[in-house]
A and B are shown apart, each in its own frame.
Chain A
């Protein structure tokens, strides 16, 4: 499933490091797809993606596509921000429970006051230097 994408001018304030392994995740997100790893034997999804299954410790993992649909578990607005994010403050962040049973964190984009337990959809925030994961409500 392809996520909605939003263009964001400028570079990410605090860009994530990318490894040879996690580059698969970031390249997919840049194309509007949310993926993570699953243990081949355990069948269990993990997030963030890892070169092993944290539940079974097997090294054989495969990439799996996620729907990007979930519910809002919690959220906040950061007013007192670190220097690197100060130009964006106040800004929203959130915790989301994906329908595949994974809890993740991201930026939150919404026009009205967010509603806990209501649905959200993942979105790819496309900055000049790469993507970040966001959620829309």
Chain B
């Protein structure tokens, strides 16, 4: 059974969570239920067809735990195939989709939901970092020096500039083109146009990355509706068919104790190749790529590793407009982590929302003309692992 995407819905990315001391609290159950109902209306199938629900694990902050089983009750939604919460840091959303797709492929589910909610903006940033600094690196041999999750990407940027001669301005241009896309995306958190001068003028967060080159804090919620192809075909509306899938974990966490080229993103290269091979395509056949890339430099390096641009030229390609609106290979037409916004544990799921919009021809002003083939990538660590899905449009 080939997995297909027949529906999708999401909250606009932004600050939804109330501060802890507010009289009125934001309830994760209410937000996600609304998104599920919207996604099912988009899919046009009855809730009785849903056999599986795979949730991305929630942040620690919302009060309700075992949220998946709680939501099965809240939505009155029995499941014959599976109900699970999966986790993998930034890859969480991608893994939720992957597991839901497995249930379709195994023939256990006719319709499956991949869904999740990430609420964290009620927690001040420095306190949030006390939590997330434990999610990357080694808590005993790295964290005691004060590494933060994005500090690893910053060190990629330092090394990349040293190796290739790329300038900070070229790398920063990714933030400008991301904003140009986001200005056309109603789900995007940051939509006011930006200039390169604006980006370069911001205060440093972790050198050489300034405020607009790293993701802002964000909440979000997403539901993707998957179905077997016979269900999708019977709906008589456009859908997405999964053509390829690739995964690779390099067996290293943050840094490899055996020195290697940290900026080569070997896991992305391997997962990309596997997905292209399974889909029977070359990278040049893609009409767009929606890439999990929290920082400017991450998108540059991932675009090279996925062979969308030549090695060492990712920053120059972004600066030349090749990956922006109207470019040769648009990357993250949603606006990406930097401007669509980055609620990390559902960011991966937002990528499927964008693919569903583009491949069904519903992306409005940011529609990529005649988009037929799109790639989605999720990662964890510093691209220590990558998960790639390739979809084609069926209309």
Residues of A within 8 A of B (CB): 12-17, 22, 46-48, 54, 73-86, 88, 90-91, 93-95, 97, 101-107, 116-117, 132-133
Contact = CB atoms under 8 A, between A and B. Distances in A.
8 contacts: A76-B207, A79-B206, A81-B129, A83-B129, A83-B130, A105-B147, A106-B145, A116-B159
A80 B129 contact: yes
Most chain A CB within a 10 A radius of its CB, from B146, B148, B207: B146
Contacts of B75: none
B148 A15 contact: no
A105 B255 contact: yes
A79 B255 contact: no
Interface string B130-144: 100100011111111
B125 interface: yes
B384 to A, nearest CB: 13
Contact of A116 (B138, B162, B256): B162
A16 B140 contact: yes
Contacts of B127: 83
Nearest to B252: A103
A55 B168 CA distance: 38
Nearest to A79: B204
A88 B145 CA distance: 10
A81 B206 CA distance: 9
Given A82-B133, A103-B256, A117-B162, 14 more contacts: A14-B146, A47-B141, A47-B257, A48-B140, A74-B158, A81-B146, A82-B148, A83-B127, A90-B204, A95-B255, A102-B258, A105-B147, A116-B159, A116-B162
Contact of A14 (B144, B155, B256): B144
The 5 residue pairs across chains A and B that have the minimum distance between CB atoms = A82-B129, A74-B155, A16-B140, A76-B154, A85-B146
B259 interface: yes
A79 B210 CA distance: 10
A86 B133 CA distance: 13
B232 to A, nearest CB: 45
B77 interface: no
B206 A78 contact: yes
Interface of B: 125-127, 129-130, 133, 137-148, 151, 154-156, 158-159, 162, 203-208, 254-260, 262
Contact of B206 (A77, A83, A88, A116): A77
Contacts of A85: 146
Contacts, number: 119
A46 B257 contact: yes
Contacts of A76: 151, 154-155, 158, 206-208
B140 A22 contact: yes
Contact of B144 (A54, A77, A86, A132): A132
Most chain B CB within a 10 A radius of its CB, from A78, A101, A102, A107: A78
A94 B156 CA distance: 11
Contacts of A95: 155, 255, 262
A133 B144 CA distance: 9
Contacts of B145: 93, 105-107, 132-133
A73 B158 CA distance: 9
A12 B262 contact: no
Contacts of A81: 126, 129, 146, 148
A97 B146 contact: no
B138 A48 contact: yes
Nearest to A81: B146
A84 B151 CA distance: 16
Contacts of A79: 203-207
Contacts of B129: 80-83
Contact of B255 (A17, A80, A103): A103
Contacts of B151: 76, 78, 93
A66 to B, nearest CB: 12
